[in-house]
Structure 1
Amino acid sequence: MSAALPASKGLASNGNLAHAPSMLQKHTVAISDIRVPLKRKKTLCEDKVQNIAESILEEGQNTPIQVRPDGEGYVLIEGLHRLEALRVLGEDSVLAYLVRARLH
């Protein structure tokens, strides 16, 4: 049972739910169009990739990765191990949420 969050918990009281997770739309993105930043690549754990690949074979991809548009492609934000597991399985595409770059 889930309850709606009141405006005081981070959602704008004007009804703008653009940042609410439930408002993100899934897109199918070509894996070859996704660039993984070097800093993120260094965190890759092959054992974790194998475990996720096995899970994807049994259940499919349950959780989309997060990417942001970057020119003609995308930059990975979250989901390195899921992305690499799909690559290992020979998939050409991945379910992804498109997110905006943070403004500082």
Structure 2
Amino acid sequence: MLEKKKYPIAEIYVPAKRKKTLDPAKVETFAESIIEIGQTTPIRLRQGKGRYVLLEGLHRLEALRALGEDSVEAYLVHARLH
């Protein structure tokens, strides 16, 4: 089972391909929601080389960044070995 933990936003890398999907209106909507009720859904990360890589939750991450937060609740996902 995945464990929800806080991770520093400064240590999260967002791949360029994912950044292209950023919608500023969605970020604003998420930011308003976070102000009202807090972060309800954790983002998903994987361990990279000396940093974390965003897998899911770009708009939530950017909303928290816009609000001046320094950490985000996330699940750390481990790659499956085949």
* TM band (smaller chain): over 0.9
TM-score by length of structure 1 reads 0.75
Q: Secondary structure at the match of 1:29?
A: strand
Question: What does the per-residue CA deviation read over 1:38-90, in whole Å, with 9 as the maximum and x for residues that have no partner?
Answer: 00000000000000000000000000000001122100000000000000000
- Counting matched residue pairs gives 82
Query: Structure 2, unaligned stretches of length 5 or more?
Result: none
Partner of 1:99: 77
Indicate the percent of aligned positions where both proteins have the same amino acid: 65
Higher RCO, 1 vs 2 (CA within 8 Å, ≥6 residues apart): 2
State how far apart, in whole Å, the 1-side matches of 2:53 and 2:44 are.
9
The CA RMSD over aligned residues, in Å, is 1.2
TM-score by length of structure 2 reads 0.95
- Between Structure 1 and Structure 2, the one with more strand by share is 2
Shift of residue 102 of structure 1? 5.2
Q: Which has the larger radius of gyration?
A: 1
Query: Structure 1, unaligned stretches of length 5 or more?
Result: 1-22
